Structure formats: C-alpha cells, structure tokens
Structure 1
Amino acid sequence: MRVCIYGAGAIGGFLGVALARAGCEVSLVARGPHLAAIRENGLTLLQDGQRETVRLNASEDPAELGPQDHVIVALKAHSVPAVAEKMTALFHDGTSVVTAVNGVPWWYFHGLGGDLEGTRLESVDPGGVQWDTLGPERAIGCVVYPACEIEEPGVITHQDGDRFTLGEPSGEKTERVQALSEAMRAGGLKAPVRPRIRDEIWVKLWGNLSFNPISALTGATLEQICRDPETRAVARAMMVEGQTVGEALGVKFAIDVDKRIAGAEAVGAHKTSMLQDLERGRAMEIDALVASVQELGRLTGVATPTIDLVLGMVKMRGRTAGCY
C-alpha cells in the first residue's frame, strides 16, 4: 500500500511512522527545516520513552512522489484549498483522500442524502476548489484524537492518544477504508471504521467550536474556561446551539453537553490549538471550527446568536493579530 502524508507535521509525522511500521510504502510532503531534517536524518518519533527513526521519501513537491493509494491530508483546514491542484499529482483512478483535518469537512454533504445533498460549504471550501479539484468521491473522513508536537525539525513527540476514527461519507464499509484501517492498526494505532462518521466529527467539533475561540479571546486554558461560571456558560450556550444545528442535519450525539464539558475540564491546563496559533502568530482555524457551524445553521434555519457573537469577536482578534 502506497500512502502519502500531505502535511507531515506533528500528527502527520506520527501517522507516517506508524504506517511505515506497518510495512506501507510511505512518503511525506513537508517543507522548510522539518523537510531538510527528515531528508538528512530520517523522521524520528519519541513515544513511551522509546525513540524510533524511519527513512522515508520526502519532498515539498508532490509530483516527485508518484501516484498513491491513499493521500492523508494532515494540514490545517485553511491551508488545503491552496494546494489542492498540486495534490492531484498523487492520484491514480482509485486514490482516496483522507481528511485528517479539524472542523467540518468540505465533503460534508456528499453521500448524506436529503435536500442538501451536494451542497458546498463556502466557509471551508471557498469557491468549491476542493470539491472540484479533489472530488468528493475520493474522500474518507478521519477524526484525529492524538496529541503530538514537533520537538525539533525531524523529531515528533507523541503526548497522548492513538485513535483515528475512519468513515466513508456514505457510511459504507468499503474495501478501501477497511484496508486503511487494517494498515493503521498494524502500525499500533486504533482505527475503527464507523458507519456514521459525521456523528464522530460533531463530538470533537462540539468542543473546538466553543473552547477554541473562547481561549483565543481570553488566553485561558480548558480547565480555566470550564471552571469559571461565566466562560463556562458561554461555552455551553455555543455547544447547545451547535447541537441543535447538528441534530437538524440528522446527527446523533452520544453524550450530553455537560459530560462533554466535564471531559474538557478533565484535560486540565491545556491551551487550545487556536490559542497556540494566536500566540505563535500563525493563522487560526476560525472558519473550519466556528464559521462552518454558523453556515450550517443558516442552511438549516437554526439561529446561532452566541456562536455569531463569539465568531465576530474572534475574527477581529485574528485580524488585529495578523492571524486571520
């Protein structure tokens, strides 16, 4: 099996090492000092006190890597449209595109059925670039749970978690998604295939929708947001609105909102990805995590007043910081 990790950062690098361990022919699309270090020294994973280094074909130009069976996209959502055309150099007729990306995926209304079948989401796929270039029929959903960091160029530290939930947009258990799941499991990961991948997407999105922008606006950790009655109330209101939107689209939430908040609080003094990006001067995933839910609310006729308010403020925070 030939697998290309497009965006071999912390999560992408972790996946790359695991799939190489499983015997897959893995290649990486990376850039800058990280790419240079991978080419010179290999890609190193630090996990459970062990150090594992693999030598993988890596390039900034996907055209150098050849056709793949699976392309796993591990970029920030807002980075994907700009590289969609380059990604096609990795395709053969049966290549899948696995979206290991936070937020509402661009293919959300492919294979869902109903009145909104085929609807394109401007917030996550401006102009339908990904839909037209990559093709929704190639998409496999992937919900990412592990936490990893780039320790230094070429070196990934695994902090927590080993689950990547997979699912076809149609809910089918196809040969391609089962083969990918088996390869990931052979590499030491948990990779269940779910018939309702959108339900899993929403449970993670639920927290990202609320805690991420609140943390960017306040500088607070998950623990602080959840323990302060006022910020907790804002997060809860956003989550309730988000749940109403999700349920209008047929999503089933396996847990209630207060259990989801309790789970976030239990993570402790963790800075969300949006706050980390803000502090480092990097573009924040505002559209994929928040604006997308606002757009879905408008499509379904569900009012999202708290989401609208927080979205407006975090967009301005991003603009003033040069991160949006």
Structure 2
Amino acid sequence: MRKLLTEILSGDPGIEVLGAAQDPYVAREMIKTLNPDVITLDIEMPKMDGIEFLKKIMRLRPMPVVMISSLTQQGADATLHAMEIGAVDCVAKPTQDLQHGLSEKYLEVIEKVKMAATARVRSLDDRPGRAGQRLSSSPAFASTEAVIAIGASTGGVEALSSVLPVLPPDSPAIVVTQHMPASFTRSFANRLNGLCAISVVEASDGARILPGHAYIAPGDMHLRVAKSGANYICRIGGQERVSGHCPSVDVLFQSVAECVGKNAVGVILTGMGKDGAKGLLAMRNAGAYTLGQNEASCVVYGMPRIAEEMGAVMEQLPLRQIPRKVLDICIAQKGKSIRV
C-alpha cells in the first residue's frame, strides 16, 4: 500500500513524497523531521490504529490528513469518525486486486492530496464540534411546506454534524447532497440519526419528504426532489457526473428550484470546486432564500466562494449561525404564504 501510494503521488510533478512510515511511531518522528504539508493515513496500522494517531495529530500538530480506508462497514464507520475528528477527506481502497484497483484511483488520490494542502485545519481542542444546544420548536414548522436543501463536500461531514443535531424534531424537511463514496452514505445517515432529534435516512426512490426528516443522497446516485400530488418525494437515479460529481449538489438544487421554488431554503457549505453554485443561483431566481457558509468557518472555501461570486448567495454566515437563520427564514416564509 505504501509503495503504491508513493508511486501514484510521485508521478505528479506538483507533489513530493518525503517518506513512508510503517507505523504511527515511525510516522511521528518523520513528521517532526520532514514537516510534510499533507499526510495520508490508513485506518488499519500496527501498534496504533489510525483513529488514535489522528487524534494525537489533531491535538499536538494539526495538519491536513487524507484517510485511506477499506470499503467495509467497519472501514466506513471508522473513516466517518476520522472526518468528524478532523481528517480532510478519504480515499476508499479496493478490497480485491489492490494494485489494479488503487491504480485506477490515481487521479482521485492526487486531487484529494492537493486539495488537502489548501484546507484550513484546527486543533482537535479548538474545533467547533457539535453545534451545542438544540433549537426550540415552533408551531409554524409542523405545517410549513418549506424544504431545506443543503449541499456540501470537503469538510461537510463535520459541518453537517454541527448543523443537523441542533434542529428541533419538527424541523422543516431537509434534503442533503454530500460528496461521499457509495459505501459510506448509509453509515453517515445512521451516524447523524443517532445525534439528531430529526430522523436522518439515506434517501430512497419515491420516499415522501416529510417535516422532521433529513434525506441524504446515496453515493454514486443523484438525489432530486419531485412532486407527487400534494407531496414532495425523493427521486433517485442517474450516475452521470454533473459539475464533476455524482451525487451532484447542482442536480439537487436545480430540482428544488423547479419543484419547490419560493418555499425552499438553499444552503451551500464547505467544499472544493464549483458544484452547487449554478443550482443555488437557480433556487435564488426561483424565489428561494439562499445561504452560504462564510470563509472563516469553512475547511475549504471553494463551493461557497464560487456561489457567492456568481450572485447565488443572499447571505454568508458562520456555520454555527446557519441553523437558527434557516429556521427563522422558514417561519417568515410561512407567515407570508397564502394558500387558496
């Protein structure tokens, strides 16, 4: 594994591989001596597992870390934990034919290491962590037709783990696209569900979109919002890459613009690239209120920056202020709506 990663990364002229360590104790000394910009870290290592070593890194010498994880359920759970602790991103290693499988991922490995070098990392003791006290309910939430659409990429695991748990159990319905491998999204939804008063699930085709629920786009499949009679439902389908991604935030936001219009709230969170900017602009043009995470609270200020530059964002806020603002907007929308 170390040999393959070294070969892949060394093949890019913009990356210099300073060394490879067989266990965390060797890695610790190499970090002190070589001062790398980015570390790739396997979950499974001798003498100390990757999670424990990551905690030490993020407390003592915070730096960008890309996790290398297996596609197993255990590997997915551990990787999500690592990203909550502060790992910037992950690469899923194949379970069979390691050399061939990882070689096929060489562009992904290079892209994620380069992206990690630009990420804003914080000490584990200085991280925002969970967003704190749960917000109070409102009679307006239960009857609102609002749909909150959220898009995120790099840093989104931590961001969503701060935003969703503070929402009240009768929160307006939420749909989420987070760039993530297919084998991870169900585990991610389950982890969030254990933290939240709302019910969080991996979205399934035809599922009715209800208040008090959040629906996470499954990996490698697009999530769209559609209308069925008087109800909003999830539509799952299509594996083409849109704006470089599947699932794509643009695909979700565009469907919300077309289907929900002025009853929607759009939120674009931390992430590399431009996915979501065009869709968020479509939402704003359709009458939705649109928010972006501000630069200071982003791990990577990419997607919100592009959306801001395109005029898609009506207001930028620190991550901690976004849940309250979203709920306030939904209450205000409820007060303005006229039903005939």
| Same-fold status (TM-score > 0.5) | no
Larger radius of gyration: 2
Larger RCO of the pair (alpha carbons < 8 Å, separation 6+): 1
